[in-house]
Structure 1
């Protein structure tokens, strides 16, 4: 599950891990204060430019956004119906941008480097009783699991389409929850098998 990293000789890959994570956190926070769809569209173009700078194949970019398309369309339609097309475009654009940026980090950063950087960055919380190792692992897995969950959504959609199941939020949510819980169980077993100490 943690094998998404694609090695390339690029400035994005060489950029310090801590700065990548800090930039992702700032971008995720700042997006909530941006409601102009044009500005969000410009940010999306910038994110695609970073993928090009990282010398990642086009298939890798499309692979991150393709599973998200049905969700984006549904999100835009709902928001546009109740709050106007500008709000719908901004909301869908925010989600697409967040997924692209999180995917860029995981595609250009080894999982072990991410966990180490987070643990170092959270070291100052140890005197407060915070286990920096556990928190860093949780954050790294959260970032990594965003594209994995999108792949699950696509997999469920394809299976439902093949069976002729009616496409609805409930029909998607139930199997998604089951698969997510099963994946979390497998992850827990894998960590235990590798001797991870949660203390």
Structure 2
């Protein structure tokens, strides 16, 4: 696994699909589910997205790896909504979040970072007249997309270390290692970009 991406080589239809099409599909699917606002459509979309993982040659563990850090937030959402007596809102919100995370994971796992950078740079070219450097903007956008699975991986590593030490009932102890891990990853990214002539 490279520092700048979680791309997993493969020959599935999704691997061969252009990055622009995948990003538009991600945006369209999430937008449609949010606009429709139906909790069962959201659940069906999330389940359907999860089924895409094995179809793309990805193991179920890959989906679980990016969803696992989301679980505490899902639990909080459910508890908060249940206190308000609206279970359907909890189902809808959780399903929409799961769908967004799973879809972003699919894009990340099946798209090379270099391909994503090239796409963003092409999209940003018209902004050159406003003094924007397309290559810099492309890099920022690519790193933003990369951040979600990177945070998930940092949380997963922190949780594994937390459980290995036999700690229980103090989840706040996982926060500092996550922050430290993200800072180290950011430094590694900076070193990698500097080595490639990016400042």
For structure 1, the residue ranges without an aligned partner over 5 or more in a row are: none
CA shift for structure 1 position 63:
2.6
Q: What is the CA deviation profile of residues 5-59 of structure 1, one whole-angstrom value per residue up to 9, with x for unaligned ones?
A: 1222221111111111222233344444343220111111221233233222333
Q: Which consecutive unaligned segments of at least 5 residues does structure 2 have?
A: none
Partner of 2:170: 167
TM-score (norm 1): 0.84
What secondary structure sits across from 1:91 in the alignment? helix
The whole-number CA distance in structure 2 between the counterparts of 1:101 and 1:130 is 29
Q: Deviations over 1:135-162 (max 9, x none)?
A: 2111112212211211212222333343
Determine if contact 1:11/1:54 at 8 Å carries over to the other structure: yes
Is this contact kept in 1: 2:33–2:41, CA < 8 A? no
Please tell me whether the aligned partners of residues 10 and 53 of structure 1 are also in contact (alpha carbons under 8 angstroms): yes
Change (3 A) 1:26 1:167: farther
Task: Report the Cα distance in structure 1 between the residues aligned to 2:173 and 2:118, rounded to whole angstroms.
Answer: 39
Alignment partner, residue 61 of structure 1: 63
Query: Which of residues 1, 26, 31 is equivalent to 1:24?
Result: 26
Mapped contact 1:13–1:54 kept (Cα < 8 A): yes
Rate the CA distance shift 1:111–1:38 in 2: closer, same or farther, 3 A.
same
TM, length-normalised to structure 2: 0.84
Distance 1:86 1:126 in 2: 46
- Aligned match of 2:109 in 102, 107, 110? 107
Q: How many residues align?
A: 196
Which structure has more RCO (C-alpha within 8 Å, separation ≥ 6)?
2
What CA RMSD, in Å, does the superposition of the two structures yield over aligned residues? Answer: 2.3
Q: Distance in 1 between matches of 2:29 and 2:174?
A: 29
